[in-house]
Structure 1
């Protein structure tokens, strides 16, 4: 009991290291993103609950002894545990609708841009790059009805350069470009877990400018949790900024 605060602090530090590795281990090259996600689902809440419990216990013990400094340490540890438990608490208090069970989102479901350089050999991929057809298109229309091609008054050449510029600002890894055909392929990664989504952007000349189509496909998972749709929205918003 004498060193409860110290023990709580050590457990908090160890827990913080574990959480950091779980969230960013793939970025550090320790494992594939799906491994980190599996560790998250298995251990994250348990780590948070453990840290919170130890911190609360230390707070009570040291506060009862009048040891305000160590009581404060226990309080901080308990708060750290609550921070880790926040996703669980938030989803319990305010459950979110389940995301559509699709991971291939495109601005043109009738004629989705095809991948020509990225293929089934891309690292860690479990999902195919072949479009799922009418079933996927119908699910996208229901879940993300706002996803549509971007119409711009820019010429095809200018729109292609602008699209490349936006992709760079968004941190995408450009895999291949075909300037004469106004298209490129890229890979984007999530900040947490480092999941990879493959992207193709194609610019089509139009009578009053050009049209920018885009498609994003997650390498793993039946559902992308709306990430590809959000990325398309962000890309289009950034594209239209001055």
Structure 2
């Protein structure tokens, strides 16, 4: 009986891990919808937490050794990860506004042109989300601002293309004469497609770079679009500094 209970607890931890791992790929392969994918994550967290608590109680009660101790420890670790990852995502989602369209220029956001047809069937349209989104962005991400560079216009444009490639984005279009670059970034786990438009313009004696990043699905991006813009600017500065 005790051995069966230990085996059950090991299986419980493994089940939590499978729920966590499979949620993203099953959605990405279009085998389940997004709602069910998130439901699997919730169940991964519930089952994982239960596994951790029950395994700890079992370890204190039975004090197993050898292989059984190692297997239970691994199962508890898997259970903890299965709980912690969804929990961390939930906490992040609660700490940021429920928006999915971030731009360095809120008065005149860069427009999607080549990307627009790719978003026809997307739940979130290509147009800018509006003033309410802009106000929420100002409160949450006051540091998302245009980047001004003392560099040659063409050099900045080419550096931006290099960064797009280095960050693993899929280039959709680039137009040097208009100073516009459009690309799509696909997230690893769920395969969410977020679109990016980069606008590069001479302004006085400098070059101004604006970036807009927008998710195709979901009400909240959990801060991903703002993070993407910050990372792009950081890599653009680094690329220009080393060239």
Residue in structure 2 matched with residue 105 of structure 1 by the alignment: 102
User: Distance in 2 between the 1:156 and 1:32 partners?
Assistant: 44
CA shift for structure 1 position 69:
3.1
User: Distance in 2 between the 1:129 and 1:227 partners?
Assistant: 17
- The structure in which a higher percent of residues are helix is 2
Closer, same or farther: CA 231–95 of 1 in aligned 2, 3 Å: closer
Residue in structure 2 matched with residue 195 of structure 1 by the alignment: 192
Closer, same or farther: CA 97–55 of 1 in aligned 2, 3 Å: closer
User: Distance in 2 between the 1:86 and 1:232 partners?
Assistant: 26
Residue in structure 1 matched with residue 130 of structure 2 by the alignment: 133
CA shift for structure 1 position 98:
3.1
Q: Does 1:39 align with 2:40?
A: yes
Corresponding residue to 1:73 among 34, 52, 71: 71
Closer, same or farther: CA 38–176 of 1 in aligned 2, 3 Å: farther
Residues 103 and 217 in structure 1, CA contact (< 8 A), matched pair in contact too: yes
CA shift for structure 1 position 13:
3.3
TM-score w.r.t. length of structure 2: 0.83
Residues 62 and 70 in structure 1, CA contact (< 8 A), matched pair in contact too: no
Corresponding residue to 2:144 among 123, 143, 147: 147
Residues 5 and 62 in structure 1, CA contact (< 8 A), matched pair in contact too: no
User: Distance in 1 between the 2:236 and 2:112 partners?
Assistant: 22
Closer, same or farther: CA 192–115 of 1 in aligned 2, 3 Å: same
User: Distance in 2 between the 1:224 and 1:90 partners?
Assistant: 14
Residue in structure 2 matched with residue 119 of structure 1 by the alignment: 116
Please tell me the root mean square deviation across aligned C-alpha atoms, in Å.
2.9
CA shift for structure 1 position 62:
4.6
Residue in structure 2 matched with residue 213 of structure 1 by the alignment: 210
User: Distance in 2 between the 1:151 and 1:158 partners?
Assistant: 13
CA shift for structure 1 position 54:
5.1
Closer, same or farther: CA 6–191 of 1 in aligned 2, 3 Å: same
Closer, same or farther: CA 130–8 of 1 in aligned 2, 3 Å: same
Q: Does 1:48 align with 2:45?
A: no
User: Distance in 2 between the 1:58 and 1:120 partners?
Assistant: 56
Residues 110 and 211 in structure 2, CA contact (< 8 A), matched pair in contact too: yes
